[in-house]
Amino acid sequence: MLLWKTNDGVCSNTSAPLEPHFTECISREQETFRCWWSPGSYHNLSSPGALRVFYLKKDSPTSEWKECPEYIHSNRECFFDVNHTSVWIPYCMQLRGENVTYFNEDDCFTVENIVRPDPPVSLSWTLLNISPSGLSYDVMVNWEPPPSADVDAGWMRIEYEIQYRERNTTNWEALEMQPHTQQTIYGLHIGKDYEVHIRCRMVAFTKFGEFSDSIFIEVTEIPTKESTIPFTLVLVLGIVGILILIMLIVITQQHRLMMVLLPPVPAPKIKGIDSELLKKGKLDELNFILTGGGMGGLPTYAPDFYQDEPWVEFIEVDGEDGDSGEREDNRASDTQRLLGLPHPVSHHMNMGCSNAISFPDDDSGRASCYNPDLPEQDTLMLMATLLPGQPEEEEASFDVEERAPASSERSLVQAQTGGPQTWVNTDFYAQVSNVMPSGGVVLSPGQQLRIQESTSATEEETQKGKEDEDSKETEEQKQKELQFQLLVVDPEGSGYTTESNVRQISTPPSSGEGYQTIHPQPVETKPAATMEDNQSPYILPDSPQSQFFSPVADYTVVQELDSHHSLLLNPPPNQSPPPCLPQHPLKAPMPVGYITPDLLGNLSP
Amino acid sequence: MPGNIRSVCAVWAMLVCLVFCGKLTTVDAAPLCTNAQAGCHVLSLANLFDRVIQHSARMHGISNDLHSEFELYFLPSKNQIGRVSRNCHTSSILTPNGKENAQRMAREELTEVILKLLVAWRDPLWHFHQSMAHHHDFNNFSSNKSLEMSDMVHELRKGVQKVVEKMQMLGIISNSVSNLASPEALLASDSAEWRLMKDYDLLYCFRRDSNKVQNYLKILKCRIVPEHGC
């Protein structure tokens, strides 16, 4: 025996003949199977019938070798049909010659392990999409399971493997195995030709079947340039059309469309106020609304804004006791004030027309002195009482108040028990409370020069204490008040002044301020504030000081209206003119709580 | 504040929806209703079959993996089929060996065969896993697979029993299928045989039997409820 080395380094024994052996046994559908044999190097055995096939089916211990049920000599094939095929049972194959048996233990198998399914059929492909760049695309491949495999009965469960490659290349790209009869191939390149084929095998087994016939996929470039030209054209035409449309709308003044295309710029708005009111000349309504007189009135204008500006004046309403009580007390206090009756009020009921607007009430715009319930008869009566009866009382108060400046600033004014309310006010005007049948107008009681007895001394003291800080300030203000008082006082002692007098008086003050606030204190301190003002704010006909202590009429009768819309009042006999004069050098009435810029100009000294 | 109310209402509606949706989904996952109780979401027979078939497919896959691994590590020579000296312990169970045989078999018989096979493999697989766990050569992955395999046999048996109950309830099969919940009846006959088998033989036999179970189940399903996937 000669041994020589072959190229792969294996010693091969060329003289030893190759025995007849089985090349392969395959089942296609797990129902039948075939075995092929080869005579090897024993060429004399290649003729049909020289070798015989025997098999052993180990389904029982007593099984024995049987001959092949069906020979196909042209192929050297042994075919086992359905009747002779049993799955899950080991088969062993052997070749027998004349007196020789060629058997190899490797030729034993079970049918399920030799199954190689037929290739799938009816391959087809569809284009899924093309990438935005236009360079690659995706393809969906569909096929049918092999017809021989009984997939419907569940006898075989098959999984498929797709492989593809570019034409004329050698390497196949394999996708993952999966049991469905369709699969997507991603990322194919446009312009290239692809070849696709599929093979399959049983699930959880190792042997693949043959590859199917190949199909070819090619997608050529889609011309895109044509689409760009009409696109730009459409765009340009569209823009031009829209422009023309807008021009037409603007020209033809279609207001509705113009509103849509060119919405108007919103005008400034204040909630609750019609913008018409803001136009010139409609101040009355605006004031009314702003001061909360209307339905959903605006919140009251805070007096704090104008604390520093003495020419701004507010009518203050005392809101300590609420509205309901206030009304009655108003009434009572008004009457009592008018009549000079003692007022059994133990608490502060300051209904004076004081400076600041104290609370956000609808009445705040008005002087709290306003008492609409005062009947007309009472008016007459009150007028009468304002005549001689009062001076006595007020002289008494004068004495008290005379003493006051003599003492300290902190002296308390001894209030007559239950005296009428003290007033702290420098009203330039008053509200008309009623119109008398004779034609006169009843004004609500004047405020400022009325310092009547306060109710509780302690309160005044405490409030006095608060006022200590402001003492200096009030002193200065007193000076101003003196001047201020001159405005309303008739130097001739008639107790009233006409407007002409007022004008004369108004010029001397060099302060340059026609109006001042008496004091900026809050509401609660009103009584005390009035204490401080005791010394100053009285208007006396004879001297500035003495004038301050003269009682102030609660109301007076309007004589006439002058050309400037000011009220000319009848003077009460020994009364100083009511402080509540609605006159002022301005043309229009001073708006409460609000000053428009054009009014501001009129406030010049 | 309408904004706040709206957001609160939206959150409330969302919570209600979640609760209801949760209830609806949990109904699907509820255990099988035995007596078709009212309000109980009942699985269809086809659905049950599908689940069981999937389970058996997975079981067969694991057994295949284990077998090839075992061959690779312990038995370098390729074909050991001829060397299987003993038959599998389940050879005594008469099983149809071809498609036509399986299709011709009565449903009750086929179901019984399946159950017998599953019952027969419970203990041997458990012992196999125990021996593998102590085997240092076997890596953890294979050890986990053997455990999984023994668990799956157990689960699959329970699943098949449920299918049988359902079929009996629907009148598809008669009540002649014996209740194999107590495996003592079966194991008494061949209790000792599997202990004599070597590990490799055990794996080989189980791989074969799991394939049988898978095929029989599929055939049964396509005969009884051939809706989809057949």
Residue A306, CA atoms < 13 Å, CB-side half-sphere: 21
Smallest Cβ distance to B82: which of A30, A105, A155? A105
Is B125 in contact with B150 (CB distance < 8 Å)? yes
Please tell me the predicted confidence (pLDDT) of residue A542: 44
The answer, yes or no, to whether residue A538 has pLDDT greater than 80, is: no
Q: Is A205 on the interface with B (CB under 8 A)?
A: yes
Express as a percent the part of chain A with pLDDT over 70: 43
Of A40 and A432, more confident = A40
The pLDDT, as a whole number, for residue A464 is 46
Q: How many angstroms separate the CA atoms of A456 and A531, rounded?
A: 12
Q: Could you give the 3-state DSSP secondary structure of residue A66?
A: strand
Q: Rounded distance, CA A153 to CA A150, Å?
A: 6
Q: Does A82 sit within 8 Å of B82, measured CB to CB?
A: no
Kindly report, residue by residue over B181-191, the tens digit of the pLDDT. 555 555 544 56
Render pLDDT for A160-216 as a digit per residue (tens, 0 to 9). Answer: 999 999 988 999 999 999 999 999 999 899 989 999 999 999 988 889 999 999 999
- Is some CB atom of chain A closer than 8 A to the CB atom of B219? yes
In what order do the strands lie in the sheet containing A65-67? A65-67, A52-57, A90-96, A101-110
Burial of A471 (0-12, 13-18, 19+ CB in 10 A): middle
Instruction: Pull the structure tokens for residue A514.
Output: 């026609």
The pLDDT value given to residue A171: 93
pLDDT at A46: 80
**Pairwise CA distance, residues A261 & A250, whole Å:** 9
Name the residue among A82, A105, A154 with its Cβ closest to that of B98. A82
Q: Quick one: what percent of chain B has pLDDT higher than 90? A: 17
Q: Lay out the sheet containing A136-144: strands in order across.
A: A121-130, A136-144, A182-189
Q: Which residue has the higher pLDDT, A53 or B141?
A: A53
Q: Give kind and range of the element (H or E) at residue A5.
A: strand A3-5
Specify the pLDDT at position A224.
59
Contacts of A406 (CB under 8 A, 6+ apart): none
Asked if residue A417 lies in contact with residue A457, where contact means CB atoms within 8 angstroms, the answer is: no
Contact A88 B99 (CB under 8 A): no
Q: What pLDDT is stored for residue A20 in this prediction?
A: 86
pLDDT for residue A591 is more than 60: no
Residue A477 CA to residue A471 CA, distance in Å, equals 9
pLDDT of residue A220: 84
Q: DSSP 3-state assignment of A465?
A: helix
Q: Which of A239-243, A535-539, B66-70 has the highest mean pLDDT?
A: A239-243
Judged by average pLDDT, the poorest of A28-32, A277-281, B9-13 is A277-281
Rounded mean pLDDT of A373-379? Answer: 49
How confident is the model at residue A118, as a pLDDT? 94
Question: A202: which chain B residues are within 8 Å (Cβ-Cβ)?
Answer: none
pLDDT digits (tens, 9 = 90+) for A251-272: 887 677 667 767 778 877 777 6
Q: Is the per-residue pLDDT at A155 higher than 50?
A: yes
**Is residue A204 within 8 angstroms of chain B, CB to CB?**
yes
Q: Is B61 on the interface with A (CB under 8 A)?
A: yes
Check if the beta carbon of residue A569 is closer than 8 Å to that of residue A558: yes
B138-161 pLDDT, tens per residue?
Answer: 666 777 888 888 899 999 999 999
How confident is residue A158, by pLDDT bands cut at 50, 70 and 90? Answer: very high
Q: What is the pLDDT of residue A306?
A: 53
pLDDT band, residue A275 (cuts 50/70/90): low
Instruction: Considering only the beta carbons, identify the residue of B64, B81, B211 that sits closest to A90.
Output: B81
Place A384 in a pLDDT band, splitting at 50, 70 and 90. very low
Q: How confident is the model at residue A62 (pLDDT cuts 50, 70, 90)?
A: confident
CA neighbor of A315 nearest in space, from A515, A166, A481, A51: A515
Predicted interface score ipTM higher than 0.90: no
Classify residue A240 by its DSSP letter.
H
pLDDT attached to residue A315: 61
At B185, which amino acid appears? Answer: A
Mean pLDDT of the A499-521 span: 43
B82 — contact with chain A (CB < 8 Å)? yes
**Residue where the block lists tokens 């004599």:** B196
**What's chain A's average pLDDT?**
66
**What residues contact A448, with CB distance under 8 A and at least 6 apart?**
A353, A423, A424, A425, A426, A427, A518, A537, A552, A579
Q: What confidence category does residue A61 fall into, taking pLDDT thresholds of 50, 70 and 90?
A: confident
**The pLDDT of residue A428:** 60
Overall average pLDDT of the B49-60 stretch = 92
Q: What local confidence, expressed as pLDDT, does residue A236 receive?
A: 92
Per-residue model confidence as pLDDT tens digits over A355-365: 444 444 444 44
- Which of A82, A105, A204 lies nearest to residue B100, judging by beta carbons? A82
